[in-house]
Amino acid sequence: MSEGSGLRDNLLLSVDDLRTRFHTPEGTVYAVNGVSYSLHEGETLAVVGESGCGKTVSMLSILRLIPIPPGEIVSGTALFRGRDLLKLPEAEMEQVRGKEIAMVFQDPMTSLNPVLTIGKQITESLRRHTALDKMAINDRTVELLEIVGMADPRRRLGDYPHQFSGGMRQRVMIAMQLACTPSILIADEPTTALDVTIQAQIMELVIRLREEVGMAIIWITHNLGVVAGLAERVIVMYAGLIVEEALVDALYEDPRHPYTAALLAALPRVDRRRDRRLKSIPGSPPNLVVEPHGCPFAPRCEFAMERCRSETPRLELIAPRHKIACWIDVETGAPR
């Protein structure tokens, strides 16, 4: 468990009631259905959930990287340093992306342009957002590659992405996105596509960078194990909604939402008996083509009541810095 920086009250990003939909020939996909959270300077926030729960889409929405003909950001605000990112004109958005808020994606092979050298892909960021001259930009690029642990970076500036290994490519991505020292780094499952050993290295790198640069991090993952080593606070998402938000320790020791509890219970643990069956969550993930009605987890929840099916629970504080969106007390099974 790592320590974050002190200034907890320095609010950096405040997202309120974000809703994003996609209009497809098969129907409307309700991807994000009212997500609200905040991020402070230097803080590391983990966003956890299964595939399709809306964690990636909500981040892409903030940066306005959602393709707008099928996609639509229906409502919500995302205040960054006082400006609503969802309403900024595109030209100003371009100044925010890469410079103030950067995003690292999951698959470094497809996320890097195969026909441009890595040097070019890093320098173009610097050229766009800084006023440095060519020499300074080159030096800075080499410096960045050194920081992320590449050997002999000056020589490799002219190499292409396919000439690097997976782990190295992800480091290049990180170097590229950190080039202009953003205040927020959004990392969308950056280690999922990599070997476990490389995963550890990348995480170590990010932790080190965080300490050196002091940036806030939003780390998206479906892997609860990763969360423990990295984050201070965690958000658990399900079907486009946040169901629980807590500090890391509180989440692991005292999960209050049935979904989080079930997730943690499903984790295989070294200290459990091997002959017991693994617990899994019954049912299947929700069909997002249907307009959400009531709690999305209700069909699979062992405590589901009538109220759960008809009324969508709001995210509410139930303990210091611990919120859940649920009508039930998970310990007793009774309404709260």
Partner 1 sequence: MAATPGPESSVAQLADELEAPPLTLRQLTWRRFRRHKMAMFGVVMLLLLFIYSFAGALFFTEDYSNLTPTELRLKPPVGAHPFGTDTVGRDILARTVYGGQISLLIGLTAMLVEVAVGIVIGALAGYYGGWVDAVLMRFTEAMFVIPQIFLLIVMAKYFGDKIPDISLLGRTFSGSVIVVVLIIGLTSWMYLARIVRAEFISLKEREFILAARATGTPALQVIFGHILPSCMAPIIVSATLSIASAILAESYISFLGMGVQPPTATWGNMLQTASSDFNKIQNAPWFWFFPGLLILLTVLSINFVGDGLRDALDPRSRAV
Partner 2 sequence: MGRYVIRRLLQAIPLLFIISVLLFVLMRSASDPVATLGGRSNPRPEERARLTRVLGLDKPLYLQYVFWLIGNDWAKFDADGDGVAETPGQLKGVLRGDFGRSLARRGEAVTKIIWERMPYTLLLLGVAEVVIILFSLLIGVFSALRQYSLMDHIITALAFIGYSMPIFFIAIVSIYVFGVKFQQWGLPSLPTGGTHDLQVGPTVGQTALHLILPVASIAIISIAGYSRFVRATMLEVMSEDYVRTAKAKGLRRLRIIFVHALKNASLPLVTIIGMDIPMLLGGALVTEQIFGWPGTGKMFLFHTIRGDTAVVMGVLMLISVAVIIFQILTDITYAWLDPRIRYE
Q: What are phi and psi of 179, to 5 degrees?
A: -50, -40
Tokens of 332: 């007793």
Residue 283 binding partner 1, by CB under 8 A:
yes
Euclidean distance between CA atoms 298 and 290, whole angstroms: 14
**What dihedral do alpha carbons 105, 84, 53, 312 form, nearest 10°?**
170
The reply on whether position 331 binds partner 1 by CB under 8 A is yes
Return d(Cα 114, Cα 124) in angstroms, integer: 15
Helix residue ranges, H only, the chain: 55-62, 90-96, 108-111, 118-129, 134-147, 153-156, 166-178, 196-213, 224-230, 248-253, 258-266, 306-310
Q: Which among 197-205, 211-219, 241-249, 295-303 is the span making contact with partner 1, rule CB under 8 A?
A: 295-303
SS3 164: coil
Residue 335 makes contact with partner 1 by CB under 8 A: no
Print the binding letters for residues 150-189 with partner 2: x by CB under 8 A, - otherwise.
---------xx-xx---------x--xx------------
User: 330 contacts which partner out of partner 2, partner 1, none, CB within 5 to 8 A by kind?
Assistant: partner 1
Q: Is 103 in the site for partner 2 (CB under 8 A)?
A: yes
Residue 186 or residue 250: which is nearer to partner 2 going by CB?
186
Distance CA 43, CA 11 (A): 10
Nearer to partner 2, 60 or 234 (CB): 60
Question: Which residues is 323 bridged to in the sheet?
Answer: 245, 317
Contacted entry of partner 2, partner 1, none for residue 51, CB cut-off 5 to 8 Å set by kind:
none
Q: Which of residues 2-41 bind partner 2 (CB under 8 A)?
A: none
Stretch near partner 1 under the rule CB under 8 A, chosen from 2-10, 35-43, 78-86, 280-288: 280-288
Contact 304, 282 (CB under 8 A): no
Cα–Cα distance for residue pair 201/81, rounded to 1 Å:
32
Q: What single-letter amino acid sits at 40? A: H
Query: Contact region for partner 2 (CB under 8 A) — 120-128, 190-198, 209-217, 281-289?
Result: 120-128
Pairwise CA distance, residues 115 & 264, whole Å: 43
Total residues contacting partner 2 (rule CB under 8 A)?
34
x/- binding map, residues 229-258, to partner 1, per CB under 8 A? --------------------------x---
Question: Which residues in this chain contact partner 2 in the complex, by CB under 8 A?
Answer: 63, 65, 67, 69, 93-99, 102-103, 105, 107, 110-117, 124-125, 128-129, 159-160, 162-163, 173, 176-177
Question: Which residues in this chain contact partner 1 in the complex, by CB under 8 A?
Answer: 255, 261, 265, 282-284, 287, 290, 298-304, 330-331, 333
